[in-house]
Amino acid sequence: MLKSKEAEELYHNYAKDMPIYDYHCHLLPNEIAEDRKFNNITELWLEDDHYKWRAMRSLGVDESYITGNKSAKEKFLKWAEVVPKLIGNPLYHWTHLELKRFFNIDDILNEETASRIWIKANKYLEDNNITAKKIIESFNVHSICTTDDPIDDLGYHRKIKEDENFNVLVTPTFRPDLAIDITSSSFYEWLDELAFITNRNINSYETFILSLYDRIDYFDELGCRISDHGLDYKFYTSYTEEECKEIFNKHLNREHITEEEALKIRTSTLVKLGIKYKEKDWAMQLHIGAYRNTNTKMFEKIGPNTGFDTIGDQRYLKDLMSLFDELNYRDNLPKSIIYNLNPKDNDIVAAFIGNYQSGIPGKIQFGSAWWFNDHKLGMESQIKTLASIGVLASFVGMLTDSRSLLSYTRHEYFRRILCNIFGDWLVSGEMPYDIDFAGKLVEDICFNNIYLYLK
CATH number of the domain bearing residue 116: 1.10.2020.10
Same structural domain, 120 and 247 = no
Of 102, 130, 158, the last residue of a domain is 130
Same structural domain, 319 and 426 = yes
What is the structure's pLDDT at 111? 97
Q: Is 104 helix (H, G, I), strand (E, B) or coil?
A: coil
Of 82, 106, 130, the last residue of a domain is 130
Q: How many domains does the chain have?
A: 2
Same structural domain, 145 and 175 = yes
Same structural domain, 204 and 69 = no
Q: Quick one: average pLDDT of 219-244? A: 97
Residue 106 has pLDDT above 90, yes or no: yes
pTM above 0.95, yes or no: yes
Q: Give the number of other Cβ atoms within 10 Å of residue 406's Cβ.
A: 23
Same structural domain, 113 and 147 = no
Tens digits of residue pLDDT in 322-369: 999 999 999 999 999 999 999 999 999 999 999 999 999 999 999 999
Q: How far apart are CA 118 and CA 110, in angstroms?
A: 11
Tens digits of residue pLDDT in 108-131: 999 999 999 999 999 999 999 999
Of 97, 130, 163, the last residue of a domain is 130
What is the average pLDDT value for the chain, to the nearest integer? 97
Same structural domain, 270 and 204 = yes
| Cβ partners under 8 Å of residue 374, min gap 6 | 90, 368, 401, 410
Same structural domain, 121 and 135 = no
Q: How far apart are CA 46 and CA 167, in angstroms?
A: 27
Domain that holds residue 55: 37-130
Same structural domain, 75 and 157 = no
Q: Quick one: average pLDDT of 167-175? A: 98
Same structural domain, 109 and 151 = no
Tens digits of residue pLDDT in 19-77: 999 999 999 999 999 999 999 999 999 998 999 999 999 999 999 999 999 999 999 99
Tens digits of residue pLDDT in 265-315: 999 999 999 999 999 999 999 999 999 999 999 999 999 999 999 999 999
Q: Quick one: average pLDDT of 155-163? A: 98
Same structural domain, 228 and 295 = yes
Same structural domain, 176 and 189 = yes
What is the structure's pLDDT at 455? 87
Same structural domain, 66 and 105 = yes
Residue 210 has pLDDT above 90, yes or no: yes
What is the structure's pLDDT at 48? 87
Q: Quick one: average pLDDT of 233-245? A: 97
What strands lie across the sheet with 283-288, from one edge to the other? 226-231, 283-288, 335-340, 364-366
Backbone angles phi, psi at 417, to 5 degrees: -65, -45
CATH number of 159's domain: 3.20.20.140
